[in-house]
């Protein structure tokens, strides 16, 4: 998740959309609620909150975001360590992806992100190709053992981190065009911050499920 984030299509005539409503509903539940099955779906979907691009990104913030990209392969392996196939095939929330789908989705998503960064580095504000992450998550390769995608994440991140660490400050301002956000070019800065969040977001789905289930 994280690919399609446009809220405009959900705007109602009242001037706010369902996401705003979710936020309003969510606020009273921020204090710790660990009783199984009582958390609002919005909280289960966003265990670390929604992504928000910081107004300013300092060098320290960049460094921490790159460390999240470095850490993801091990964090993902730790998150799924010891889970049985039945546990991996359990949705992390009612109607949500299974742990197995989450792992395969991270591989799908981060392969795309890695390619997007490379085209942004080497072309003049290229238009990237979106993909339907929900449809991808239903394709037959989603039923493969998670080891396959853990290996992809290892390899993609090993290469991605080399690129990220070699970026010079002006490189973070390089842009690419996302067809779903016309007129709002994304930067490599945005991509890094987004995938730092995305890495922690999906690990959070699995670790929070384990916590709730006592696995």
Question: Interface with Ni ion includes 76 (CB under 5 A)?
Answer: no
- Shortest separation between residue 104's beta carbon and Ni ion, angstroms: 11
By beta-carbon proximity to Ni ion, the closer residue of 134 and 165 is: 134
How many residues make contact with Ni ion (CB under 5 A)? 2
In order of 41, 187, 188, the CA distances from 119 in angstroms are 36, 12, 10
By beta-carbon proximity to Ni ion, the closer residue of 50 and 212 is: 50
Write each residue from 2 to 21 as x if it is in contact with Ni ion (CB under 5 A), else as -, in one continuous string: x-------------------
Question: Interface with Ni ion includes 1 (CB under 5 A)?
Answer: yes
Answer whether 63's CB lies under 8 Å from 147's CB: no
Q: Which stretch binds Ni ion (CB under 5 A): 1-9, 56-64, 146-154, 188-196?
A: 1-9
| Length of the chain, in residues | 215
Question: Interface with Ni ion includes 91 (CB under 5 A)?
Answer: no
Q: Which residues bind Ni ion (CB under 5 A)?
A: 1-2
């Amino acid at each position: 998740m994280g690919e399609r984030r446009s809220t405009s299509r959900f705007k109602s005539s009242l001037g706010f959309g369902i996401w705003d409503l979710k936020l309003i509903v969510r606020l009273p539940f921020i204090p710790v609620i660990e009783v199984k099955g009582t958390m609002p779906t919005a909280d289960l979907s966003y265990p670390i909150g929604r992504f928000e691009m910081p107004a300013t990104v300092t060098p320290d913030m960049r460094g921490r975001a790159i460390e999240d990209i470095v850490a993801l392969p091990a964090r993902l392996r730790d998150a799924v360590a010891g889970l049985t196939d039945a546990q991996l095939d359990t949705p992390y929330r009612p109607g949500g992806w299974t742990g197995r789908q989450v792992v395969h989705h991270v591989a799908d998503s981060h392969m795309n992100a890695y390619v997007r960064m490379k085209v942004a580095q080497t072309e003049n504000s290229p238009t990237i190709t979106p993909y339907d992450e929900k449809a991808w998550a239903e394709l037959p390769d989603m039923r493969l053992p998670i080891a396959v995608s853990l290996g992809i994440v290892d390899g993609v991140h090993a290469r991605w981190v080399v690129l990220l660490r070699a970026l010079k400050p002006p490189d973070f301002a390089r842009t690419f065009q996302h067809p779903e956000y016309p007129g709002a070019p994304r930067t490599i800065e945005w991509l890094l911050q987004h995938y730092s969040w995305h890495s922690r977001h999906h690990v959070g789905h699995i670790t929070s499920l384990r916590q709730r289930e006592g696995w």
